[in-house]
Every structure is written in structure tokens, then in C-alpha cells.
Structure 1
Amino acid sequence: MTELSLIIRSEQPIDSDAIERLHERAFGPGRFARTASRLREGAPHLLDLSFTALVGTLLVGSVRMTPIRAGEERALMLGPLTVEPAFESRGIGAALMRRSLDSARDKGHTLVLLVGDEPYYRRFGFKRIPLRHLELPGPVNPDRFLALELAEGALARAKGLVSPLPISG
């Protein structure tokens, strides 16, 4: 494997078009119908917790965090985590995950949820959410509904419906 000169940096507003094209290539047009995507439509993602990966000037990866409410608990919804298909399996997704989760922890966030492959996300500490503990506003395979506690007890406090948490200005 060739070493990449990878730069992970905070997402900038000027990155949005390149990230949208990346999502289109990676996930296709059906991405908008997914429950997690519909949930993220209710609130903008947080730029200070969202990161991009660059090789030179080429944007090759992105991860975003969106504020949500899990029952009465404030939380974050991670995703999408996207890597340019030609750059997959080179550690870019893992680097983006670590940076985003470390930043969320450093800023005092307590809980991160996502919909994804448990075997991949387990290495970052994500676990399946117990059945009927939290409910997304649409269908999702319960084996893919995952949580990471950044503070002990956060998941136990989070019960009920997951909904967007618009950023107040």
C-alpha cells in the first residue's frame, strides 16, 4: 500500500459542493430516502465536528455530525461517513472517525448515534442500541442502529423518539 499525504481538517462552507458530489458517487440517488438522511434534514450539521480528508487538493472523504435529541437527551447523529471509492481501504474513514469522535468528546458531547455496519463501527466503540430503547422517525434495521457513549450513562438516559435538534442562533 502506498502512503498517502492525507490532511484531515474541519469542513469549510466551500466544501459543500464537493461533499455533495462525493455522496452522490458513494451512495447514489437513493440516499435521500434513508431514515438517517431524513433525520439530518431537520437540522444542519455542525461544522466544528465535521471533517474532510484531502490528498493534495482533492477531497477524498468526509464525516459529518448533526445535533439531535434522543428522547430528552442531547446527542449527535454521525454520518454520512464517506470515502471516495478509489481511496477506500486506506484508513481514511478511520482517520475521519477518530478525529470527529475525539472532537465531540473534547467539546463535552455525551452520546453519538448512527445507522451503519456494526462490524465496521465496533472498533470505535459503537454498540447496537437495545430494541425499542430509541426510535428513529422511519424504518431502520435494528442491527444497524448503533450508539457510542462518550460519557457513562448517556445511552441509559436517552429513551424515546430521536428527532432533529435545530441549532439556535
Structure 2
Amino acid sequence: MTDLSLTILPESPNHAQLIERLHERTFGPGRFVLSAYRLREHIDHINALSFTAWIGTLLVGSVRQLPILVGDTPALLLGPLTVEPPFRARGVGRALLDRALADAREQGHKLILLVGDEPYYSRVGFKKIPKGRVTMPGPVDAHRLLVMELADGAFDGVSGPIRPDWSKARTA
């Protein structure tokens, strides 16, 4: 990313429409049937742990994290992580990921889960969750369920359904 002047900022409510358009362009309408999106239906992501990537005034990427429970254990669900296609493979996604993980650790979170590509996310420490240890609402490829411990041993003994942390749900 030597040729980009990239700025990573915490997401603000003012970014919502720009980010939604970015998701629409990069993931298309099929994104709403994905298991991870089902978890996002009633739980807001945490702005202080969600970030945007900018080159000047151009939004080029976004990452969000939302509060979940795995069984009864609090965790974060990372995603979606998205980058405008012309800016992929230039370090934008990695910069967003590094910031999201660092801030989650700094704020005392112990576990982050995601549904994603293991070869990409393993570079920062995510590992496959053993098949059958956790479940998500709706269909999900078990090989794409990944976890990162932000504290040693944080995933020891953790299992069960992944569900929204309703204590953080928005009110209708």
C-alpha cells in the first residue's frame, strides 16, 4: 500500500448510506440471505469497533463488528469487511482488519468470530472452529467459521449457538 494515502476512521452514523452502497456494489442483493446478515437484523454494529477507509474524500473500504453470544459467552462478529474492487490487494482490507482487532483487544474483548476465507484471515491469527462446536442461524459452510482469541484461552470450553447479544439490541 505504498502508493495510497489511506486514512482509517471509526465509523459514524453519517457513513451509513455510503457503506450500504459499498456493500450493495461488492456483495449484491444475495447478501441478505447469508447467516451473518441474519445476526445483523436486530443488533447494531458497534461504531467504536467499526471502521472506514478513505482516500481523500472517497470511501474505499469498511469493516464492522457486532456483539454476539456463543452459547453464553460474549464475543464479537467481524464483518462484513469490504473494499472497493479497484483498491483490493493494496492493503486496505488489512489496514481495516488490523485496526478493528487492535481496538477490540484494547477495549477488553476476548473473542472474535467471522465467516470468511481461512487463508486470508489466518494471516492475522484466525483459526477454523472445529466442526459442530458452534452453530449459526441458517446455512453456513462450517469450514468458513473462524475464531480469534484476543486473550489466551478465551475460546477454551466455548460452544453452542451463535446468536445476537440481545442485551445490546436496538429497540423498535
Q: How does the TM-score come out when normalised to structure 1?
A: 0.96
* Deviation string, structure 1 residues 25-51 (Cα, Å, up to 9, x no partner): 000000000001111213100000000
CA distance in 1, matches of 2:158, 2:57: 40
Corresponding residue pairs, total: 169
CA distance in 1, matches of 2:48, 2:144: 26
CA distance in 1, matches of 2:160, 2:114: 16
Contact 1:73–1:157, Cα closer than 8 Å, also in 2 = no
Deviation at 1:136, TM superposition (A): 0.7
Q: How does 1:38-49 map to 2 (within 5 A)?
A: 38-49=38-49
Contact 2:42–2:169, Cα closer than 8 Å, also in 1 = no
CA distance in 1, matches of 2:42, 2:169: 13
CA distance in 1, matches of 2:62, 2:104: 16
Task: Report the residue type matching 1:52 in the other structure.
Answer: T
Contact 2:131–2:143, Cα closer than 8 Å, also in 1 = no
CA distance in 2, matches of 1:118, 1:34: 18
Q: How does 1:86-101 map to 2 (within 5 A)?
A: 86-101=86-101
CA RMSD, aligned part only? 1.3
Q: How does the TM-score come out when normalised to structure 2?
A: 0.95
Corresponding residue number in structure 2 for 1:158? 158
CA distance in 1, matches of 2:43, 2:2: 39
Contact 2:77–2:113, Cα closer than 8 Å, also in 1 = yes
CA distance in 2, matches of 1:157, 1:36: 23
Unaligned 5+ segments in structure 1 are none
Comparing 96-105 with 131-140, greater Cα deviation is found at 131-140
Contact 1:62–1:96, Cα closer than 8 Å, also in 2 = yes
Corresponding residue number in structure 1 for 2:120? 120
CA distance in 2, matches of 1:2, 1:75: 34
* Deviation string, structure 1 residues 90-128 (Cα, Å, up to 9, x no partner): 000000000000000000000000000000000010000
Q: How does 1:18-167 map to 2 (within 5 A)?
A: 18-166=18-166, 167=168
CA distance in 1, matches of 2:40, 2:111: 16
Following superposition, which runs of at least 4 residues in structure 1 exceed 6 angstroms of deviation?
none
Secondary structure of 1:76 counterpart: strand
Unaligned 5+ segments in structure 2 are none
CA distance in 1, matches of 2:6, 2:31: 27
| Percent of aligned pairs with the same amino acid | 56
